[in-house]
């Protein structure tokens, strides 16, 4: 007796029966396999079994969701949109150097209205660092206040060194 025979005998001894119906079905299948002549007849409905998966597929059909996903345009998530807008160059630029506070405010109002009307997504405001002001910087704080009050102003931040650094502010329009 080799090891394989020992394992087979062990399985027979320790195996639990799994139900009368299933045992009867196994006996019927063994009888059918022994007797090649005993094949299910077309008129015997109890012997014919339809695969449940085939029946479901016939009823509901097949949908290729991968082809639908390829055909549908990809929806841009808010995070992807924010990342794209931060990386893009501004659509329009306004330079406020040398303007008084009230003049700069009026120009910003018309600039934002025009930018929104044209469908721009990102603008750049150059206000300078205020190093030439007699007292404290004037335009930088005024631009910050304008952005807080304007309903079209979204996320904003200072540009990189190549675009003016703290002397310019980019704004994503709503």
pLDDT digits over 31-85, tens only?
766 665 545 555 555 556 778 888 888 888 887 777 766 766 677 788 888 888 8
DSSP label of 165: G
Please provide the DSSP assignment of 12-59 as one string.
HHHPPP--HHHHHHHHHHHHHHH-TT----TT-TTT----HHHHHHHH
What is the band of 5 on the pLDDT scale with cuts at 50, 70, 90?
A: confident
The confidence score (pLDDT) of residue 55 equals 82
> From CA 108, how far away is CA 105, in angstroms rounded?
5
Flag whether pLDDT at 27 surpasses 80: no
Tokens of 171: 């704004």
The confidence score (pLDDT) of residue 107 equals 92
CB 130 within 8 A of CB 138: yes
**Helix 139-149 and helix 101-118, axial crossing angle in degrees, nearest 10:** 40
CATH topology of domain 78-173: Ribosomal Protein S8; Chain: A, domain 1 (3.30.1370)
The confidence score (pLDDT) of residue 66 equals 77
pTM over 0.85: no
Give the pLDDT confidence of 84-137 residue by residue, as tens digits: 888 888 888 888 888 888 898 899 999 989 999 999 988 998 888 766 666 767
First to last CA, the chain: 82
Flag whether pLDDT at 154 surpasses 70: yes
Extended strands (E) in the chain: 92-95, 122-126, 153-158, 168-173
What is the band of 159 on the pLDDT scale with cuts at 50, 70, 90?
A: confident
Average pLDDT, the chain: 78
> From CA 139, how far away is CA 146, in angstroms rounded?
10
The confidence score (pLDDT) of residue 77 equals 84
The confidence score (pLDDT) of residue 110 equals 92
Domain ranges of the chain: 3-62, 78-173
The confidence score (pLDDT) of residue 37 equals 52
Flag whether pLDDT at 171 surpasses 80: yes
Q: Would you say how long the chain is, in residues? A: 174
The confidence score (pLDDT) of residue 17 equals 60
């Amino acid at each position: 007796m080799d090891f394989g025979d020992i394992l087979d005998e062990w399985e027979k001894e320790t195996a639990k029966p799994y139900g009368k119906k299933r045992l009867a079905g196994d006996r019927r299948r063994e009888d059918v396999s022994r007797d090649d002549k005993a094949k299910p007849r077309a008129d015997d409905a109890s012997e014919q079994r339809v695969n449940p998966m085939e029946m479901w597929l016939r009823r509901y059909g097949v949908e290729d969701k991968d082809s639908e996903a390829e055909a549908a345009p990809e929806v841009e998530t808010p995070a992807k949109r924010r990342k794209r807008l931060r990386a893009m160059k501004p659509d329009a630029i306004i330079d406020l150097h040398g303007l008084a506070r009230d003049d700069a405010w009026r120009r910003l109002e018309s600039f934002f209205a025009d930018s929104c009307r044209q469908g721009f997504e990102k603008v750049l405001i150059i206000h300078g660092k205020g190093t030439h002001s007699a007292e404290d910087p004037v335009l930088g704080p005024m631009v910050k206040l304008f952005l807080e009050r304007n309903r079209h102003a979204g996320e904003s931040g200072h540009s990189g060194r190549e675009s003016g650094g703290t002397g310019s502010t980019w704004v994503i329009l709503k």
